[in-house]
Structure 1
Amino acid sequence: MTTNTRLRVFLALVLSGALSGAVAIGPVAADDDAPAGPDGVPTYIVRDGQVDKGTYNGFRRFHSVCHTCHGFDASGSSFAPPLVDSLKRLDYDQFKEVVINGRQNQGATGDKVMPSFGLDPNVVMHLDDIYRYLKARADGALPGGRPQRLGG
């Protein structure tokens, strides 16, 4: 088979997969080396106040989008709950559901809304890392403030 023929076959396969709607979805992670438990749930590493690369990236991503409503260090604000408390109750799948699809009519008066971030690549592409950071904060393993990266 010539190189030109191989290229045509490859392009045909790619195009047929795209047209058929075939999409491979795996764990959302910004870094393949970021830690995960045996069940595939993202985990964090905190040693002497230093964190793994994924958790550090989660801190950065949280502060680029989420802190506007959920407060510095995920401690909450007048319009959004403290995520350090929420992650004590929500498991990973529930967390993903809320972030991707949002929530309506929350709070005592039913006027709180969590918008959907399912189409925001700055959030969705780094969801595992954001979870790592928030889970470390919720578990009390990571104090407030900017963490330092392990080995960096």
Structure 2
Amino acid sequence: MAMLPFASSSFAADDGPIVNDYSNMGADYSGSDDSEAKSDSGKSDASAKATAKSSSGKSASSSGQASSGADGKPYKVNCDGDGACKVSDDVMLGYEKFGGHCSRCHGETAEGSTFAPSLVQRLKGMGQGRFTAAVAGGVTKLDSTTGMYQIMPAWANNEDVMNHVQQIWAFLKARSDGALPAGRPQAMDGGGKG
């Protein structure tokens, strides 16, 4: 089995794996985390990524990760006054992968459905490491208002999702931050890698 690109990435200290051992079925995994949380070595996620980039000589996007814009955000979005938005290649790919795998449950706009939460809202308090862990490992949560379990499947064995989880994150983060309205974006002229 080939090693997936996400398998070697490190999570922030508070981005521990989300475990579905079913012995604590009422566990709530929606806790917030800090997007600039410190890693085990004491460096912030951003500085750890910069260190990894400089030591490997490769950009983040060449290893399957979404690259950050100059402002440190994982997306690049340009919207005109009429609401038409152009996005980087990473965000466009994330939009497409989200539509192919995630929108069935979370809705085409990522604003949720009757049985899956709004990722636009969830990502307001969730860092990238926790998001990746939730996608890879799945989530089981008891809804105390209905008494029913919400179960998100684990996608760790789906290479089409896991090889593009950083791009899905970039798209969803742009939606969550309010930088990208609902609807199909357009790719930037000239590639727009960043």
TM-score (norm 2): 0.59
- In structure 1, the partner of 2:112 is 76
Q: Determine if the alignment matches structure 1 residue 95 to structure 2 residue 131.
A: yes
2:166 alignment partner in structure 1:
128
For residues 6-41 of structure 1, the C-alpha deviation after alignment (integer angstroms, 9 at most, x for no partner) is xxxxxxxxxxxx9xx9x98248x9942942279xx8
Q: 1:30 to 1:78 in 2, by over 3 A?
A: farther
Conserved? CA contact 2:94–2:167, under 8 Å:
yes
User: Aligned-pair distance for 1:105?
Assistant: 2.7
Amino acid at match of 1:114: M
Q: Give the alignment partner of residue 182 of structure 2, picking from 141, 144, 148.
A: 144
SS of 2:109 mapped into structure 1: helix
- Contact 1:100 1:124 survives alignment (8 Å): yes
* Runs of 5+ unmatched residues, structure 1: 1-17
CA contact (8 A) 1:70 1:80 kept: yes
CA, structure 1 residues 60+47, in 2 after alignment: closer, same or farther (shift >3 Å)? same
Pairs within 5 Å for 1:43-58 = 43-48=74-79, 49-58=85-94
Contact 2:61–2:67 (8 Å) recurs in 1: no
SS in 1 for 2:156: coil
- Whole-Å Cα distance in 2 between the matches of residues 106 and 100 of structure 1? 19
When normalised by structure 1's length, the TM-score is 0.75
- Bigger Rg over Cα: 1
- Give the aligned length: 129
8 Å Cα contact 1:34-1:52 kept in structure 2: no
Deviations 1:50-73 (A, max 9, x none): 100000000000000000000011
Whole-angstrom distance in 1 between the partners of 2:156 and 2:128: 15
1:44 CA drift (Å): 0.1
Query: Which consecutive residues of structure 2, in runs of 5 or more, have no partner in the other structure?
Result: 11-58, 80-84
**Identical residues among aligned pairs (%):** 35
Cα displacement string for residues 48-105 of structure 1 (whole angstroms, at most 9, x for unaligned residues) = 2110000000000000000000001101001100000011011001101100001113
What amino acid does structure 1 have at the position aligned with 2:94? G
Code of the residue aligned with 2:131 in structure 1: it is F
User: Structure 1 stretches (4+) deviating beyond 3 angstroms?
Assistant: none
**Contact 2:128 2:169 (C-alpha < 8 Å) held by counterparts:** yes
Inter-partner Cα distance in structure 2 for 1:68 and 1:42: 27
